[in-house]
Amino acid sequence: MPPNDSLVAQCVAHASGGPVHVLLTSQEAEYIPGCNMAFRKVALKSIGGFDPQFHVAGDDVDVCWRLQQAGWTLGFCPAAVVWHHRRNSVRAYWKQQSGYGKAEAMLERKWPEKYTVAGQARWSGRVYTNGLSYIG
């Protein structure tokens, strides 16, 4: 998070629902958030690029799953850093989270085998968050 972000953006950065990565090993990912991904052109071309039905969110998850289904692997570099500005208002954050929810439903319809009966994504790797502990 850029150090000059507003207080609201700082709060949003520490809220749940932000971008996280899912690692299979220290160098191979199962999923990489769209705000911090790069692909070889040949890999994206081999799967027909991004699925246009995911125009709000979910495109990153779908493309990762499709690349893996086609036999590609997703490399992970912990040294890569992205300065990502977060939503600067509660309304914008709410709208983003609403879009994430709609995209999650679309992903579940397209990839039912990737979800549990309860509708939770089923990951093979370990989900990494920002490392903060929340005590309720």
Rounded Cα gap, residues 29 and 65, in angstroms:
11
For residue 134, is pLDDT > 50?
no
- Whether the per-residue pLDDT at 81 is higher than 80: the answer is no
Residue 118 confidence (pLDDT)? 87
107 in Cβ contact with 113 (< 8 Å)? no
Supply the pLDDT for residue 136.
36
φ and ψ at residue 17, rounded to 5 degrees: 95, 5
What pTM, to 2 d.p., does this model score?
A: 0.80
Inform me whether the pLDDT recorded for 83 exceeds 90: no
Task: At 7, list the tokens.
Answer: 């207080």
Please state, rounded to an integer, the average pLDDT across all residues of the chain: 83
